[in-house]
Structure 1
Amino acid sequence: MRSFLMGLCEVVVRVLTWPLYVMKAVGLYKRLFPLLAYNITFSYNAKMHEEKRNLFRNLWKYANTDGTLRLLEIGCGSGANFKFYPDGCTVVCTDPNPHFKKYLQMSMHGSDHLTYENFLVAQGEDLGHIGDESVDVVVCTLVLCSVTDVQRVLSEARRILRTGGGFYFMEHVVSEPSSWTFFFQHVLQPLWYFLGDGCVITRATWEDLEAAGFSELHLRHIEAPQVPITIRPHIVGHAIK
């Protein structure tokens, strides 16, 4: 009965989201989403401040012998993570949406402790402009939910990481099947897909990380505080090539 109700509700939500299909088809939402994401960043960072601070606190252990650290962020968006990166870090930014550039530059101006090398408009599945084993750290937060091929993104991350480099992640994931969170995730998925510009809230992303071929994987499941129930289950951690 529960699965039938879930399926019925999902159909209703799909019907109600038809105006969003039109917005996506004409390209309007691609321009609107960066503004929404930029404003949501402040709220999300305030709620996840301690988790992010703890996640990125040991980035410098991947620095080179000369003290330099080259970091590439996949799906950098508006630069929500910049303030958590260590002083002197060189950052390469990538995102498939070119309309983020305006908000990214605003974040750059407020992060003088970093050196910005480049902003590349690129899909996470194809980082061909980045050389093999050319970065010390790859960061990917709230991105694997919206990519087309999670395994391909992780493969690219491993390719561009030097041996011994670190891959840092923080992602919302699907909840336990017996939970009401799981129910609402599946019911609201059609709507969330458009609100989040392709965001999928029903992925078991930890399984992709486990299968990605990293030499070490340090992963925790957490419940994010004060965020919508649909994105409350998170995984956070880092992997080593």
Structure 2
Amino acid sequence: MSAIILILQLALAFIMLPFYILNWLGILDPISKKLFPYFMDSFTDVYNKEMEDQKKNLFGKLSDFAASSKQLQLLELGCGTGANFKFYPSGCRVTCLDINPNFQKFLSKSQAENDHLTYDGFLVASADNMTPVADASMDVVVCTLLACSLPNTPAMLKEVKRVLRPGGAFYFMEHVASTDASSWINFGQKVLNPTWKLFLDGCSMRKTTWKDIEKAGFSELKLRHVKAPISMKLISPHIIGYAVK
């Protein structure tokens, strides 16, 4: 089976050879960075409709983690187009962080449409090195569909624990590698993943993000493996939950 996967990977790479060359020359990445927000803007509409119930359930009790009676201080990593804003509780103060500054105009549109929130700025930084965010300054950190594109998830989780106050929570919803070795989804992920990463800003379908979260040393962890009810079946294996510092 592994030989068949390799042959199919090589065949697909040959078909896409011009793009691999552009990537090797460093030309593809800046183009991708500019185009990726447009793709995510369209993808978000579809994903939010398909995952609305899951997001409502996940974010339904965010306010429980507000320190005392103060406003909930929330940091969203890889905020993108602001896909999660409508699911956050009224009065929540949101700090947005994304490594790609080209999301700014899409983010501004989402902020205007979700005026039940207060926004504390847009930070251009990587989730695994977010030095502009102070220690123990956040009640909640949210990360959805981001870990797939991070080369160093443990570093991101270390940063999450740094910026969370004691008793604060890390919320996540991520697509991950299929754990069913005999499924066509597992097979498809293995075949398509190298080219998928090339076109989708480093996103990997084969991340085992749950293992990193389980090893991160949170005091409490609620993590579920689910098959998300989405039309893009190759990324339907998901983990959903939260972890408490």
- TM-score normalised to structure 2 length: 0.95
Contact 1:13–1:190 at 8 Å: present in 2 too? no
| Paired position in structure 2 for 1:211 | 215
**Structure 2: where are the runs of 5+ without partners?**
none
Does 2:77 match 1:74? yes
The 5 Å alignment of 1:22-37 reads: 24=23, 25-26=26-27, 27-37=30-40
**Mean CA deviation greater in 59-68 or 29-38:** 59-68
Post-superposition CA distance 1:89-115 (Å, at most 9, x none): 000000000000010001001000000
Confirm whether residue 159 of structure 1 aligns to residue 158 of structure 2. Answer: no
Partner of 2:205, secondary structure, is coil
Partner of 1:109: 112
The match for 1:99 among 83, 98, 102 is: 102
Paired residues of 2:37 and 2:80 also in contact (CA < 8 A): yes
Provide the C-alpha distance between the structure 2 equivalents of 1:208 and 1:232, rounded to a whole number of angstroms: 19
| Post-superposition offset of 1:4 | 1.2
Greater mean alpha carbon deviation, residues 120-129 or residues 10-19: 10-19
CA distance in 2, matches of 1:221, 1:168: 14
Q: Distance in 2 between matches of 1:112 and 1:203?
A: 35
Task: Please give the per-residue CA displacement for 1:39-65, whole angstroms capped at 9, x wherever unaligned.
Answer: 110000000000000000010001122
Residue 226 (structure 1) aligned with residue 226 (structure 2): no
The aligned counterpart of 1:236 is 240
**Structure 1: runs of 5+ lacking an equivalent:** none
Q: CA RMSD in A?
A: 1.1
1:9 corresponds to 2:12: no
- Deviation of 1:23 after TM superposition, in Å, equals 5.5
Identity %: 47
For 1:21, the equivalent position in structure 2 comes to 20
Aligned mates of 1:199, 1:19 — CA distance in 2 = 20
1:173 corresponds to which residue?
176
CA distance in 1, matches of 2:94, 2:71: 11
Shift of 1:12: 1.4
**TM-score, normalised with respect to structure 1:** 0.96
Worse-matched range after superposition: 71-80 or 17-26: 17-26
Match of 2:148, SS state, is coil
**Match runs of 1:132-211 below 5 Å:** 132-175=135-178, 176-211=180-215
Name the SS of the counterpart of 1:104 in structure 2: helix
Contact 1:17 1:190 in 2 (8 A): no
